[in-house]
Amino acid sequence: MRIVRDQVTVCVPASSANLGPGFDAIGLALEIRDEITVRAITGATRVSVEGEGAGRVMKDEDNLVVQSLRLGLETVGAPQIGIEMHCLNRIPHGRGLGSSSAAIVSGLAAASALVEPGALPADKIFQLATKLEGHPDNAAPAVYGGAVVGWIEPANPRDPQQAGESRAFALPFPIHSEVKVTVLIPDFQLATSKARGLLPEFVPHRDAVFTAGRAALLPLALSAHPELLFYATQDRLHQEYRREGMPASLELVDYLRAQNYPAAVSGAGPTVIVFSHLPVALRQGLEHKGWRVLSPAVAGTGIITS
């Protein structure tokens, strides 16, 4: 497999996963994009970072985008190259907006753009990204854009214990024109690993049944019945268990829902997503308390390459 381009630019959107009850399964791409420019060079890898994470993320072979790019090249049997990379990061890190998925998908997409066309298609990028992430809810919208339901099947669905490669799947669904999004981003981070560590091994059956019903309703509310989004964003599976890790976020969800706003934790948090635009006074009040308030459009496209 040959390297056919010596420079590429890739843009990948942020994503909000779970959206309340769609735990590890439902995700939404948002028009907040990271942009990376990669140039093939001779010599050691050099990375520069502008925006989110500048001064904190790795600038060598340990950079997550670089590691993902190298995985992509390895997957298609292309030669490893020296890399000069500039990252313009707009997706906040550690806030539940899919920054790690965006980094992984960016690296894989850059590898795809550097090699012969068709060698590393979007579906293969999605498979690799899901394997690295462990679940498809952020990877799918980062790759494909829009709203997506994702899941993982074992190699043999009739015998999940049988050895073999599992496969990830993703199905898009439309977003109703009346659906608006606001994200409320705090000034603190919460590692996904810590958020997952707060989850119990078992939940009451009644809570599982309740959340399954709301998860089934969520794509219908987003695509055709936005008036039902308040109900469709209810969750009893994960959010309350994570309260001690992000009390301010859950207090804000409680406050907004008490005013009939369809609010939920974005991904593992601590960002809060609201399926509504907020009044100016409310936005200003939240900004005064330290929340960054953004109203991104739903990103209809995932990977953009030039």
Q: Residues within the annotated binding site for ATP? A: 92-102
Residues with Cβ within 8 Å of 66's Cβ and at least 6 positions away in sequence, in order, are 45, 47, 60, 83, 85, 107
Count of CB atoms within 10 A of residue 44's CB? Answer: 10
Q: Which residues are annotated as a binding site?
A: 92-102
Buried/exposed code over 182-215 (b: 16+ C-beta within 10 A; e: otherwise): bbbbbeeebebeebeebeeeebeeeeeebbeebb
Hey, what are 199's tokens? 């989850």
What's the distance, CA 176 to chain centroid?
Answer: 20
Backbone angles phi, psi at 182, to 5 degrees: -125, 135
96 sits in the region (left: phi over 0; alpha: psi -120 to 50; else beta) called left
What's the distance, CA 168 to chain centroid?
Answer: 15
Half-sphere exposure of 224 (CA within 13 A, CB side): 4
Cα separation of 284 and 264, whole Å?
20
Which residue do the tokens 């009044």 mark? 279
Report the candidate in 123, 137, 147 with the shortest Cα–Cα distance to residue 30: 147
- Sign of the dihedral defined by the CA atoms of residues 117, 120, 125, 127, in that order: positive
Q: Please, what is the angle between helix 64-76 and helix 122-133, to 10°?
A: 130
Q: Which helix (H) or strand (E) holds 120?
A: none
Cα separation of 260 and 267, whole Å?
21
